[in-house]
């Protein structure tokens, strides 16, 4: 066997692969397969199926299985020496749940390489489709589970997060309530990540602590199923869930199906899969406690790593287990790039005009504040959208451009305070991070250097690096995470944006004012 490691990422819209040649410290191959385009027969749009109720969003697990066959065939056809792959790991879109019946384990164990995964697994599900993270139809179940556990803050303290519509526990409860017979016929429930790992292993895979933390079902400190949360969710649930294990667990050798069909080495090991966000944390180089990355995308996302478990008393942020040890947080702000775009468009600007406006206005915006809740917001929880201006004329284009970005950074600063540690630097990714002017505001508000960090396929890369780490650990030589991830996730010090002199004091003074504006606006728009 060579020194290759395969990382897969089964995300919402595609299955991606990154093959890492660890001896050479380089990426050998990247590939991606878009579900809508490659597998049109499932009739997904953007990887999902929507019903009459727009809140219901599902996807077919058979499509994910077929994509795995296709991806392996593609890698083989494109000359990747699959026999040199030492270990495979992966990541899945978080929270989604796959419901299988009693025939699934035997079907996995007896997979015939002359037939496809799709043909052999077709009858193995007690529910043909899996609810995914975009499903928001479980508000009643969230309330019920939360009430049983003593409220949002208590559930967050117990499982790492308050109840969220997209989390697995509420999805399971809804299935049990609305389709009790099908729930009864369910022998087991997998996450997207552990379902995919099961296919590779030829038996039901455990759930890793990283993705398990996104279920509202796992005790975030003791790292085992939380009995009271299980009981509050659905009867008999404990018997349907596999064990939870650390993210670096080697789950076993690859199934003979993949050895015979695609030429993988019979001793190649499958390392448990994790969620896409925990894997992305590794692929972005967040491998030590106290590191922070901010992704400026459709939504803005704040990731941070922590040595100890601390949960958000307001129940706004999520705590997952970090694959590098310790914990990580994910705080999602819905009004990200679309809010920036709304303000840009309102003044007829292009992105360079928007950047010029940022450069032309001073830190602190002469006291002007804007709350850009164009859409309902996740953090802080805003159900009724609205844009609120304080000491800011709605006609002042440059000040409004600065105000939207300052508000986004202020909100991240305010709503990540519960993590309780100072930031020494930030890695900034996503489309918005291409703007140095936006990153300068980030550096000024956060008071630390910001490193532009371009990543594509960070989850698949993170999965490959997790496979590297687990494999070396298995061999009794656990390398430092910095060594494993360092070569693939370096930042360039010369590119850092540093806080402008004097900006720290401006934003220290502005934070309490911003917080007060939020409270005032929430007082008027909470429903």
Q: Does 190 bind ligand XUL (CB under 6 A)?
A: no
**Contacts for 49 with CB less than 8 Å, ≥ 6 apart:** 42, 43, 57, 58, 59, 60, 129
Task: Calculate the alpha carbon distances from 247 to 82, 244, 366 in Å.
Answer: 23, 9, 48
Q: Does 94 bind ligand XUL (CB under 6 A)?
A: yes
**Contacts for 43 with CB less than 8 Å, ≥ 6 apart:** 49
Here the tokens at position 109 are 């164990």
Sign, CA torsion 416/421/422/423: negative
Binding segment (CB under 6 A) for ligand XUL, from list 67-75, 271-279, 338-346, 394-402: 271-279
CB of 166 to ligand XUL, least distance (A): 5
Q: Does 305 bind ligand XUL (CB under 6 A)?
A: no
Shorter beta-carbon distance to ligand XUL: residue 269 or 301: 301
CB of 192 to ligand XUL, least distance (A): 9
Shorter beta-carbon distance to ligand XUL: residue 95 or 423: 95
172: enclosing H helix or E strand = helix 168-178
Q: Does 209 bind ligand XUL (CB under 6 A)?
A: no
Q: Does 277 bind ligand XUL (CB under 6 A)?
A: yes
Shorter beta-carbon distance to ligand XUL: residue 192 or 358: 192
Q: Does 329 bind ligand XUL (CB under 6 A)?
A: no
**Among 22, 64, 99, 133, which residue sits at the site for ligand XUL (rule: CB under 6 A)?**
133
- The string of DSSP codes covering 467-514 is HHHHHHHHTT----HHHHHHTTS---GGG-B-PPTTHHHHHHHHHHHH
E strand intervals along 66-170:
85-92, 97-100, 130-131
CB of 317 to ligand XUL, least distance (A): 10
Shorter beta-carbon distance to ligand XUL: residue 166 or 427: 166
Q: Find the angle CA(394)-CA(396)-CA(399) to the nearest 5 degrees.
A: 105
Q: Are 330 and 302 in contact (CB under 8 A)?
A: yes
Binding segment (CB under 6 A) for ligand XUL, from list 13-21, 92-100, 262-270, 508-516: 92-100
Binding segment (CB under 6 A) for ligand XUL, from list 14-22, 175-183, 273-281, 376-384: 273-281
Q: Does 12 bind ligand XUL (CB under 6 A)?
A: yes
CB of 85 to ligand XUL, least distance (A): 25
**Among 276, 300, 312, 518, which residue sits at the site for ligand XUL (rule: CB under 6 A)?**
276
Binding segment (CB under 6 A) for ligand XUL, from list 40-48, 73-81, 183-191, 274-282: 274-282
Q: Does 93 bind ligand XUL (CB under 6 A)?
A: yes
Binding segment (CB under 6 A) for ligand XUL, from list 23-31, 90-98, 103-111, 123-131: 90-98
Find residue 7's DSSP bridge partners.
18, 89
**Among 58, 86, 127, 166, which residue sits at the site for ligand XUL (rule: CB under 6 A)?**
166
Residue 385: is it exposed, middle or buried by C-beta count within 10 angstroms (0-12/13-18/19+)?
middle
Strands 97-100, 188-191: pairing is antiparallel
- Gap between the Cα atoms of 27 and 461, Å rounded: 9
Shorter beta-carbon distance to ligand XUL: residue 146 or 277: 277
- Gap between the Cα atoms of 365 and 402, Å rounded: 7
CB of 52 to ligand XUL, least distance (A): 23
- Gap between the Cα atoms of 220 and 233, Å rounded: 17
Q: Does 211 bind ligand XUL (CB under 6 A)?
A: no
Residue 375: is it exposed, middle or buried by C-beta count within 10 angstroms (0-12/13-18/19+)?
middle
Query: Which single residue brings its beta carbon nearest to ligand XUL?
Result: 94
Footprint of ligand XUL on this chain (CB under 6 A)? 11-12, 93-95, 133, 166, 214, 275-277, 330
């Amino acid at each position: 066997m060579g020194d290759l490691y395969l990382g897969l990422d089964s995300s919402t819209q595609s299955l991606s692969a990154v093959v890492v040649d660890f001896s050479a410290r380089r990426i050998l191959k990247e590939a991606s397969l878009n579900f809508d385009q490659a597998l049109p027969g499932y009739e997904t749009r953007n990887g999902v199926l929507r019903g009459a109720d727009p809140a219901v969003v599902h996807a077919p697990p058979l499509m994910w299985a077929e994509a795995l066959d296709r991806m392996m065939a593609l890698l083989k056809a494109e000359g990747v020496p699959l026999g040199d792959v030492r270990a495979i790991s992966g990541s899945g879109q978080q929270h989604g749940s796959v419901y299988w019946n009693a025939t699934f384990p035997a079907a996995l164990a007896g997979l015939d390489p002359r037939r496809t995964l799709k043909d052999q697994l077709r009858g193995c599900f007690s529910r043909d489709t899996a609810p995914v993270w975009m499903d928001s139809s479980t508000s009643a179940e969230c309330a019920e589970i939360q009430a049983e556990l003593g409220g949002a803050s208590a559930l967050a303290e117990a499982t790492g997060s308050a109840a969220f519509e997209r989390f697995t526990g509420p999805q399971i409860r809804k299935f049990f309530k609305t389709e009790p017979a099908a729930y009864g016929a369910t022998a087991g429930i997998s996450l997207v990540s552990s379902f995919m790992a099961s296919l590779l292993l030829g038996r039901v895979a455990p759930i890793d602590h990283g993705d398990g933390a996104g279920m509202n079902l796992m005790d975030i400190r003791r790292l085992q199923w939380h009995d009271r949360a299980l009981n509050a969710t659905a009867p008999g649930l404990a018997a349907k869930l596999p064990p939870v294990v650390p993210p670096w667990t080697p789950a076993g050798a690859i199934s003979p199906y993949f050895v015979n069909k695609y030429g993988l080495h019979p001793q190649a090991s499958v390392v448990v899969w994790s969620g896409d966000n925990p894997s992305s944390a590794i692929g972005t180089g967040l491998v030590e406690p106290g590191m922070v990355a901010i992704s400026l995308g459709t939504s803005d996302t704040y990731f941070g790593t922590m040595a100890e478990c601390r949960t958000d008393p307001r129940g706004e942020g999520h705590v997952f287990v970090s694959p590098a040890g310790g914990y990580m947080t994910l705080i999602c702000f819905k009004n990200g790039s679309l809010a920036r775009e709304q303000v840009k468009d309102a003044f007829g600007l292009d992105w360079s005009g928007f950047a010029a406006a940022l450069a032309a206005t001073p830190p602190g915006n002469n006291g002007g504040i804007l709350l850009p809740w164009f859409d309902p917001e996740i953090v802080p929880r805003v159900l009724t959208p609205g844009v609120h201006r304080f000491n800011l004329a709605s006609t002042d284009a440059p000040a409004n451009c600065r105000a939207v970005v300052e508000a986004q950074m202020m909100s991240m600063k305010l709503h990540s305070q519960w993590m309780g540690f100072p930031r020494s630097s930030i890695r900034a990714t996503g489309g918005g991070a291409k703007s140095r002017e936006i990153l300068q505001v980030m550096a000024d508000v956060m008071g630390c250097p910001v490193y532009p960090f371009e990543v594509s396929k960070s989850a698949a890369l993170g999965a490959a690096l997790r496979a590297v780490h687990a494999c070396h650990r298995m061999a009794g030589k656990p390398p430092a995470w910095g060594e494993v991830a360092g070569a693939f996730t370096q930042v360039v010090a010369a590119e850092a944006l540093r806080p402008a002199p004097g900006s720290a004091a401006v934003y220290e003074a502005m934070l309490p004012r911003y917080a007060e504006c939020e409270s005032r606006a929430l007082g008027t728009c909470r429903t």
